[in-house]
Structure 1
Amino acid sequence: MYNCFDIAKQFLKYAKEEGIDVEPMKLLKLTYIAHGWHLGFYSKPLINNTIEAWKFGPVIPDLYHITKRFGFSNVDYDTISMRSSNKLSENEEKFIKVIWENYKQFSGLDLSTKTHLKGTPWFEVYDGTFNKVIDNQTIEKYYKDLIANPTNDTTGESN
């Protein structure tokens, strides 16, 4: 299992290679979505960080507090890289690449919308209070359901 910075670093690496800007919200949502799909496919968490339901969707507080200073600007690779402590396995790099290829075209706002619609883990947990944890079981169930029933996906997550 990795920390959120290990996964975020890989997304930023791909973005840098392709000349694509990644603002904080996009990086947060990509990291969350990768974690969700990993739970769905492998029944194992990708990251060991806490995920919380905030007003605008699921948030990984550890990643948020480091990236929020970038506002709507591109997140600096070095800022994330220095907090990354694990090298991803070849399989995990390939997994992150698949997520990147499927979601890179979306803005942070688009991804935020996808992750907090009716039926998503955020929707199931968020009750207007701050810092409500979204547990891995809730996330795993949602993504396993998407895998089993891709035509029933109303959130656009399986794009």
Structure 2
Amino acid sequence: MAQNVDDVAAFLLDRLGVMRTTRLQGLVYYAQAWHLADHGERMFGADIEAWRHGPMVRPLYERHRRQREVGEWPAGNPRGLGERAREVVEWVIRFYGAISGDELSRIVRVELPWQRARKGRVFARRSAKVIDPAEMAGYYRRLCSSPEVAVSVAVGSARLEGHEFGPHMLDRLRDAATGTRAADEIIGEMIALYRKP
């Protein structure tokens, strides 16, 4: 059953209290993204647009326009969410709830669904292009894959971009995917390797 996006916003504010509108929009984006990944269907029917500074649900924007912060959402009912939607939003709160709105926007902007929606647009240019829900479902579902599937997806994506990985790099990808080594450590090693003359 599709939920009302206003109920999602009201639920988030009920649990987390006053927040910047960019944070609310980011959390709503991730609620939709992970619901698509987990259940194969939208949590709410409203589209999410790839605005230059991050994701934007226009019906929410119309209600919070000209406000930097919001503390309540009278248009929604926090108890209006169904059980599956509530479980996903609770997970989003645990995983993303402490992250600022600016940081959430930065995270979304490096992820494939937002980048594909913005493809060909200069960062400073306005755009109301909708982020494809099928793209979101596939991308976030892959993030939950086993380490071998995650490495295969990364290698396949790199090949589409014209890059090839040697055996040593595949080992590093596997280390990152399994958590054997921190990604930051691997990236630092790669930067040091490429800086050598």
Tell me if both proteins adopt one fold, taking TM over 0.5 as the criterion: yes
Change (3 A) 1:86 1:47: farther
CA root-mean-square deviation = 2.2
Q: Does 1:121 align with 2:99?
A: no
2:173 aligned partner: none
Alignment check: 8 A CA contact 1:6 1:81 kept: no
TM-fit CA distance, 1:68? 2.7
Match of 1:53, SS state, is strand
Which residue identity is paired with 1:32? Y
1:151 corresponds to which of 161, 177, 181: 177
Q: Counterpart in 1 of 2:81?
A: 88
CA distance in 2, matches of 1:69, 1:84: 22
> Could you tell me how far 1:82 is from its partner in structure 2?
2.3
If the length of structure 2 is used for normalisation, what is the TM-score?
0.66
Consecutive unaligned residues in structure 2, runs of 5 or more:
151-175, 184-197
**CA distance in 1: counterparts of 2:109 and 2:54, whole angstroms:** 5
Q: How far apart, CA to CA, are the structure 1 residues paired with 2:133 and 2:15?
A: 26
The residue aligned with 1:4 is 5
CA-to-partner distance for each residue in 1:47-99, whole Å, 9 max, x for gaps?
1001111111221111112123222x3x131xx23245981123322321111
- Alpha carbons 2:14, 2:78 under 8 Å: kept: no
Q: AA paired with 1:151?
A: A
Matches within 5 A, 1:15-94: 15-16=16-17, 21-71=18-68, 73=69, 75-77=70-72, 80-84=73-77, 87-94=80-87
Cα distance in 1 for residues equivalent to 2:177 and 2:109: 19
Paired positions, count: 144
Q: Which structure's residues are more often helix, by fraction? A: 2
1:110 aligns with 2:103: yes
- The 1:99–1:53 alpha-carbon spacing in structure 2 relative to 1, beyond 3 Å, is same
Moved over 4 A (4+): 83-86
TM-score for both structures, normalised by structure 1: 0.81
User: What percentage of aligned pairs have identical amino acids?
Assistant: 26
Q: Determine the C-alpha separation between the residues in 1 that align with 2:94 and 2:130.
A: 28
Larger Rg belongs to: 2
Aligned residue identity for 1:145: R
Higher relative contact order structure (alpha carbons within 8 Å, sequence separation ≥ 6): 1
Matching residue of 2:93: 100
Deviation of 1:140 after TM superposition, in Å, equals 0.7
Helix, strand or coil at the partner of 2:66: helix
Unaligned runs of 5+ in 1: 155-159
Q: Say which SS state the counterpart of residue 55 (structure 2) adopts.
A: strand
Q: Is the 8 A contact 1:2 1:86 kept in 2?
A: no
